[in-house]
Amino acid sequence: MFHAIEEAAADTGIRLTYVPVLYERAGFDQPEPSADQRRFAMSPDEFVDHYEYARETTDGNTTVGIGAHSLRAVTGSSLRRLTDVSRRDECPMHMHIAEQSAEVDQCFARYNARPVEWLLREFSPDDRWCLVHATHISEEELASLSECGAVVCLCPSTEANLGDGLFPLRSWLDRGGRIAIGSDSQITINPYEELRWLEYGQRLSSRSRNIAAGPDSHTGRSLLEQVLKGGGLACGHGAGQLRAGGPADLVTLDDESPMLAGHDSESILDALVFVGARLPIDRVMVGGQWRVMEGNHVAGLETRRSFAEVVHALRPAATDTAFPGGSSARVST
C-alpha cells in the first residue's frame, strides 16, 4: 500500500509525508483490538519493520514519519519504542490526543494524569511532534505544551461532525503555540473550509469576532500564515514558506474571479477563507513543476475517471456513519 500511495502522490503532484499509524488495542482497558480494528492492527515490531521498509524504499521525494494513534490505542511501552525510533531518525511524530472528554477521563483513571499532562511528563515531546485535536486540554497543559514547540493539528470538520468540542485557540496562539490544519476524514479536503470552520467555531464559543487575527494582520492572513508554518513543520519537509533553497511549492489565484474583485493584498486572503465559494485557484506548482494550469489539473480528466471508478467499487462497503448526516451511532476516531 505504501508504494501505491507514493505513486498516487507522484502522479498528482502532492508533496507527501507518509505517516503509518500504530493501532494495537481498542481502549485503555481493552488489550485487544475490536473485530473491526483487527484488519489494520499491528505489533510494535511489525510497525517498525513497515516504517523502516518505507523509509528505505521511498523514491526520495517522500518524507516518512511515525504515528501512534492515541494513548488509548497504544500502550506506554509501545509508544516508548516508537518515540525512540522517531528520535533516532529525527522524523515527524504524530498522535491523536484528548479529542474526546471520555478519553481524558479514561486516561486519568489509568495513569492518574490527563493525556497531555502524562505525555509531557513521560515523553518530553519537542518540535517534531504533531498532536492532533488536543480539544480537551487544560490551561496548565496548554502552557507546558506551548513551551516544547509541538504543533497542534486542528480538524474542525471532524471535531464538529463528532461533536467533540472546541480547542482553546486564542489562548494557545497568545502563548506562541503552533497550529496546523487537517480534516481527519474524507468528507472535505478543503483547507480553507477547515479554517473557516475553525474561526467561526471560536467566534460562536467566545461571542466575539476575529479570534485568530494578529496585531497587524487580518484573520485570513493570520490563519494561513500560522497553518503554513505549522503544517510544514509537522510534515517534516519545510514546505509552507517561500525561501531560498526551499521547496518551490506555490499557488496562484485567478485575479479575474468575481470572488476576489475589489480586494487588496490583505483582504484577498480573508475572501479566500470566508467566501466559501469555488476556490479561485489558477495555478499550482509543486517542486518547480506546474501541476494545475488555468484551474485544471494537467491529468484532470483521467484522474476524475479513475476516481469515479474507485468510488463506485467501494460504495457497497460504505456505511451511514461515514457521513455527517448519518445515524446516531457514536464514532470514535
- 184: annotated active-site residue: yes
Report which of 172, 229, 222 is spatially closest to residue 195, judged by C-alpha positions: 222
Of residues 164, 184, 249, 270, which has the active-site annotation?
Answer: 184
* Cβ-proximal residues to 105 (8 Å cutoff; 6+ apart), any chain: none
- 133: annotated active-site residue: yes
Distance of CA 5 to the CA centre of its chain: 17
Of residues 69, 94, 96, 133, which has the active-site annotation?
Answer: 133
Catalytic residues: 133, 184
